[in-house]
Structure 1
Amino acid sequence: MTFILDPIFYFIAVPVVLLIGISKGGFAGSLGLLCVPLLSLVISPIQAAAIVLPILCVMDIFGLIAYRRIADWRNLGYLLPGAIAGILLGYLLFSYLSSDFIKILLGVICVVFTLNHYIRRVPADHVAKASISGGSFWGSIAGFTSFVAHAGGPPLQFYMLPQKLDKTLYVGTSVWFFFAINYVKLIPYGLLGQFSLQNIGTSLILLPLAPLGIWLGVKAHNMISEVLFYRIAYILVLLTGGKLLWDGLTGMNLLF
């Protein structure tokens, strides 16, 4: 078995996998979008996504056990066809997506997600309704961004949060959504040759951290002020997005 040997990679990868587990464990779930951007600081975004996907798939099983009977099936029916179309689009465009372009895309996602959190103001009594058009549109965006960077969380939230679902129903729907699309992504990732021996070996080394991260997420949900955690975390998202935008734009010679 081969695997990445660079200690700097593991200096970043270990907390990243723990962060994914914490998110899957029900605490600060949106911050899973940081996994590929942070790893992209030391390896290519394409390799980072390939290493993370098997770990996500294992974590999704734990989530599905907890929420196997809880989901808004109507919303899933609206979201999943679009998400599969978005995954297919990502697969078809894969050979045209350079590392610099993906860094720019990730940077934009991080910055827009953060600014939306701080700037967006929705009336307290406003409740959006599930719709085929909205679910198909945001589902396709989530499928595409999830395919290239496992960053399907923000588009899903843009669609679902305004509906103000019961928290448990919202989490259960999200668990089912990502379980479905992550396992669908295994097919195009395999066809594209992303599961090299080095990538799989690195995933296996990091995999034992998955249940630990989920356990920490469950504990943190009850012990730590989520408000304070989010304040710090959103700053991290914004800084990471800014760094990726700079690197991507510089790499494509779009900055002087």
Structure 2
Amino acid sequence: MEFSIQSLSPIQWGVLILAALFIGLAKGGISNLGMSTVPLAAWYFGGKFSTGIILPMLIVADLTAVLYYRKNVEWRYYLKLLPWTVVGIVFGTWLGEVVSDELFKRIMGVIFAGSVGFMLYRDYRGITTIPHQWWFAVIMGILAGVTTMFGNLAGAATTVFFLAMQLPKQSYLGTAAWFFFSVNLIKTPFQILFWGTISWDTLKINLLLVPILLFGVAMGIWLVQRFSDRIFRRMTIGLCLVAMVLLFL
């Protein structure tokens, strides 16, 4: 799929602006809000192709989050998870090559539904104790790698892992920021060389959205310091449930 800035419809621009804002808010600290943009982008731009549109925006937002939370990183947990995530990225790249875009979108839908379902189940049951043996890092890392290729959806697996490590709030945000920044940089060559989902045309569109991204990050940082994320979490889940339906239409 190829397109230019001039070919985008007002609705498509609206989806991209919303995606940039929500990604910025999520990277600023309003966790999981960016998830709701994944199915919307997949519905309007196609499953695999949408991952290439979203990825550069994630990297820009990741960089700002890394700079802000640079002093709050637990490197041992970062290094414990990252190698297995790379294994998952390689497998996810191969899997994305052999399935059709329609099936790709369905797989995204299943992953997305599982992620939202887990968030709801964890909230309902009040789960706080999760295994943290060595095999847990292996499973969560590979799962994060596969899901990050299928729609940038590694958030659920990494959230489970970092919560299991019982990191304080600031340490969680800092470690997650560095982890996602690294993962998104690692998978970029796979998107360019194997999937061809990132091009100069997509990068030009991403460049225009940078101000929206930066505004979202700043707003997320401001909000996470002043308000409980309960309302934002409920809004996120609500948006996710509505957007998830689009993947199966």
Normalization by structure 2: what TM-score?
Answer: 0.89
2:177 paired with 1:175? yes
Q: Which residue is equivalent to 2:244? A: 241
Q: Which residue is equivalent to 1:213? A: 216
Q: Which residue is equivalent to 1:72? A: 74
- Which residue among 201, 206, 215 is the counterpart of 1:203? 206
2:48 paired with 1:41? no
Q: Say whether the 8 Å CA contact 2:140–2:161 is kept in structure 1.
A: yes
Q: Which residue is equivalent to 2:26? A: 23
Write the letter of the residue equivalent to 2:185.
Y
Do the aligned partners of residues 201 and 61 (structure 1) sit closer, same or farther apart at CA in structure 2, a change above 3 Å counting?
A: same
Q: Say whether the 8 Å CA contact 2:192–2:199 is kept in structure 1.
A: no
Write the letter of the residue equivalent to 2:242.
L
Q: Distance in 2 between matches of 1:135 and 1:14?
A: 35
- Which residue among 59, 62, 86 is the counterpart of 1:60? 62
Q: Which residue is equivalent to 2:111? A: 109
Q: Say whether the 8 Å CA contact 1:106–1:241 is kept in structure 2.
A: no
Do the aligned partners of residues 203 and 237 (structure 1) sit closer, same or farther apart at CA in structure 2, a change above 3 Å counting?
A: same
Q: Say whether the 8 Å CA contact 1:36–1:150 is kept in structure 2.
A: yes
Q: Say whether the 8 Å CA contact 2:28–2:216 is kept in structure 1.
A: yes
Q: Distance in 2 between matches of 1:159 and 1:72?
A: 13
How many corresponding residue pairs? Answer: 243
Q: Deviations over 1:132-154 (max 9, x none)?
A: 21112111111111122111100
Secondary structure of 1:164's aligned partner: coil
Q: Percent identity?
A: 28
Q: Say whether the 8 Å CA contact 1:75–1:130 is kept in structure 2.
A: no
Q: Distance in 1 between matches of 2:221 and 2:171?
A: 17
Q: Which residue is equivalent to 1:254? A: none
Q: Say whether the 8 Å CA contact 1:13–1:39 is kept in structure 2.
A: yes
**Could you list the runs of 5+ residues in structure 1 that have no partner in the other structure?**
248-256
Write the letter of the residue equivalent to 1:147.
M
Do the aligned partners of residues 106 and 94 (structure 1) sit closer, same or farther apart at CA in structure 2, a change above 3 Å counting?
A: closer
RMSD value, Cα: 2.0
**Could you list the runs of 5+ residues in structure 2 that have no partner in the other structure?**
none
Q: Deviations over 1:197-228 (max 9, x none)?
A: 32222212222211111111122224555212
Q: Say whether the 8 Å CA contact 1:32–1:151 is kept in structure 2.
A: no
| 1:130 positional shift | 3.7
Q: Distance in 1 between matches of 2:20 and 2:149?
A: 18
**1:85-96 equivalence runs, <5 A:** 85-96=87-98
Secondary structure of 2:231's aligned partner: helix
Q: Say whether the 8 Å CA contact 1:78–1:135 is kept in structure 2.
A: yes
